[in-house]
Each structure stands twice: as C-alpha cells, then as structure tokens.
Structure 1
Amino acid sequence: MVCPTTRQRSVPEDYRFCPTEQKLVGHYLRHKLMDPDDSICKTIPEIDVWEREPWEIPKLAAVAFPEMEEDDRECYFFRKCGYGARFNRKTRAGSWKVTGEDKVIKARDTENVIGKMKILVYHATCAPGRTIQRNCADEGLAERVLRGGTGPDWKWVIHEYHYVADDVKIPPGNGTYVVCKLIKKEADFSVLSKKHYLSNKDTIDSLIEHYLKKKG
C-alpha cells in the first residue's frame, strides 16, 4: 500500500529528504499518530512492508518521492501496526529479525525520551525451489533464496522508530504506526566464507557488532 496523496507531492529538483531522528519521531511520526490523514502523508508514504521483499520497497517509495532514484540506498515510509497485536515480520521469501538493543531517542530541546529505534535485518528463509518475484538489482540474494539459503543478508536493514511519549492517545482498535528507514547496505564478507557466515552464530554476532559500531 502506498498513500495515494503522496503522488501529488511537488518538491524542488535538488530536494533530498534527510530528517534527523528527533524530527522523524517528534514531528512526522507524532503527527501521523495524531491524525493518520494529516497532510504529513504527503511527505512520507505508507507501505505494507511485510507484503513486499526489501528490494521491492525502494520502487514503491520512489512513487512518492519523484526526486528519489530506485537504486538510492535509503528511503522512508510509515507502517501501520495492529493495536496490541504481536507483529508478524515475515515476507514471502524471508523475514525481518530484530537485532541489538533498542536505541533511545530524546528531544533535543528537553532531553525527554520521545521514541525508540529498533534495528531489523532481513533473513532469507525461502524453501529450495520456490519462485519469488525480484528484480535484477538483487540477483545475488534472489539466487541464494531460491537455493534455500538462510541467515541474515546485510544488504537490507530497517531502522524502525516508535513513538513512546505519553502525549498522544490512540483509541483502542485504531491501530498505530511506526516510521521506518530502509537502508541498502553492502556486506563485507572478504574474510569469511559464506558457509561459515551462514552457520556460525558467533560470526553473525560479530557482524552485528561491526554494523552497530559503524552506525554509532
């Protein structure tokens, strides 16, 4: 799903959407929670990410962001959550798994905690021989998925932001939203064999630690 109002958005040719975490949570997500139909929807699209594979999302986001190229390494979108429900992060060919600890987001002016950020990594879990829709931008992952390969693929990472301040009340049954930043990140397996990487938990943990340090 892509919010239809995003299609009419008009911005300068040199415009790039690069909000701070505080702005993303304290402004955009807060307004989305207060009124899902707010004009804020013209800035960030709404996408059902679990209905798509990660390599399909940039193309959907590009519909909302005419200045964005489909091969851009970052894009933003809202995701609707079921109220009080356990989130199912499975896609057709894999799943998104939370890694590391939540990061606290504080307002710059007051230092009050307004949100938290979770890191999700895409894991390919497709059964051998299963056919999935894909494009040429991610043939390496697609081939591994079709062979039944499993384990995290560090090309695709989501930063999932939640609003936690208590100044926004969401009526029961209405559901809620998170705002996500999808990152296409090149993995560095130069010192590791793929077999070792896919089977060794210590190696996976070290890659997680390396990624978090680079983002730090």
Structure 2
Amino acid sequence: MEPLNFTEHSMLQLPSGFRFHPTDEELIVHYLKPKAQSIPLPFNIPVADVNRSDPWTLPGDADHERYFFSTVETKYPCGKRSNRTALSGYWKTTGVDKKIVDSRNKHVVGTKKTLVFYRYKAPKGCKTNWVMHEYKLANSAAQGVKSWVICRVCLKKSGKKDFVKDEEMFELEKRGLVFYDFIGGPRKINDGSSSSCSSGITEDEGNSN
C-alpha cells in the first residue's frame, strides 16, 4: 500500500482507488473527540475557518466532499448565536440537529447540523447548492474540552454550473464591479445585468466521493 501523502494545503491525498468517507459516528469518535482532547489522529484533517469562508474558496477539490476542523465563534459576546457570515454570503441552518449515537454503548456522542450557503446579505440571501454538515461533540461545553467541530462541505451535483457563476461573481466583487440595491439585488456595474443564483437543493443519490 502506498504511503499517505498531503498536498500543499494539508489536504489528505489518498492512494488511487481509496476514498476518505467516514460515517457520522466515526467522525465524532475517531476524529473530533481525539482532536478536542489533543490526542493524535489516524491521519490529518485540515483546519479552516469554514463558517467565515465562501465555500468555493476553501482548499481542495470542489467536485468532492471536503472535511475540515473548525471552531465556531459566537456572534455576540454574551450570546449563543454563532457567527456564520462570510465574504459573499452566510451559512444558514436548515432542519433539526441529528443525534449521533455510539453503536457500542448506545450513548449520544455528538450532533450533526445541516447548513446551506446563501449568497448576499441576510435576510434576502439567495439559496445555493453548497451544503455543510457540522459535527459537534455532545459534551463540547465541558470544562477542558475545546469547541472544535468537523465540517463536511459539498456542492450538490445540480449546482456545478452555478459554481462557475459564483466564482465569476466573486472575482467581480473583489474588483469592485458589483453593487447592491434593495430592489434588484446584486448587479454588475459594467453592464447592469442581474446575477443569477441557484434555487433550492436536490438530493444526491450517489456518493460524490
């Protein structure tokens, strides 16, 4: 078996034919819990500020699921609301958190939160096909345990074309060629045309990894 290699961004490069596709339980028990307790991991998962980043700017191949360790900061010093605002939009929670149970002792070891990325500013953001699953330890608030989370980021298959549009709009925003109004939303300064965005999320029947 070939040795495990890492790219310049510390993304795991597995040998041909292998895929990193852990279960929810494995992510909590074998990666997140050891990370919080500063115990060596089976192999590295990179660290990134996922909640404050546009998903297409995160390191790795956007055609596959990507995994990151991250921390979640509160929006206000005395509040519990998480800060999930990125440069070009924000992450919004959808559905209810799923409890992750250890199959050996049937104890709840963590939770899985599903979030969707919205372009532009809340509350009139535009829904995209970027999805994140955020895994959190059940006892993450316990004393001595750092509030690490694992984020699994993926782009639904129906959103591949919109990914190109997202990158184009991102480049225009960096160059100052996009402005916002309260009626028409984001517009390009050079031609005045409205940008388009994906509407909704479709379920992916297969495994993108």
Same fold judged by TM-score > 0.5? yes
Task: Give the match for residue 114 of structure 1.
Answer: 109
Task: Give the match for residue 16 of structure 2.
Answer: 13
Asked if 1:80 is matched to 2:71, the reply is yes
Measure how far apart 1:212 and its partner are.
Answer: 11
Task: Give the match for residue 56 of structure 2.
Answer: 55
Deviations 1:101-160 (A, max 9, x none): 111110111111111111000011159xxxxxxxxxxxxxxxxxxxxx83211x200000
The 1:77/1:105 distance shift into structure 2, 3 A limit, reads same
Task: Give the match for residue 141 of structure 1.
Answer: none
Deviations 1:75-119 (A, max 9, x none): 111112348854200001100000101111101111111111110
Distance (Å, rounded) in 2 between the aligned partners of 1:186 and 1:19: 20
Sequence identity percentage: 31
Secondary structure in structure 2 of the residue aligned to 1:39 = coil
Task: Give the match for residue 127 of structure 2.
Answer: 152
Aligned length: 158
Q: In proportion to residue count, which structure has more helix?
A: 1
Q: TM-score, normalised by structure 1?
A: 0.60
Distance (Å, rounded) in 2 between the aligned partners of 1:213 and 1:9: 25
Task: Give the match for residue 125 of structure 1.
Answer: 120
Structure with more contact order per residue of length (Cα contacts < 8 Å, sep ≥ 6): 1
Q: For 1:161, which of 123, 135, 148 is the aligned residue?
A: 135
Q: TM-score, normalised by structure 2?
A: 0.62
Deviations 1:159-192 (A, max 9, x none): 00111048x9443xx741100111111348xxxx
RMSD: 3.8
Secondary structure in structure 2 of the residue aligned to 1:28 = helix
Q: For 2:149, which of 173, 178, 181 is the aligned residue?
A: 178
4+ long deviations beyond 3 Å: 4-11, 82-86, 210-215
Distance (Å, rounded) in 1 between the aligned partners of 2:205 and 2:98: 13
Q: In proportion to residue count, which structure has more strand?
A: 2
Secondary structure in structure 1 of the residue aligned to 2:41 = helix
Further displaced range: 46-55 or 103-112:
46-55
Distance (Å, rounded) in 2 between the aligned partners of 1:52 and 1:158: 12
Distance (Å, rounded) in 2 between the aligned partners of 1:211 and 1:180: 19
Distance (Å, rounded) in 2 between the aligned partners of 1:12 and 1:214: 21
The 1:13/1:87 distance shift into structure 2, 3 A limit, reads same
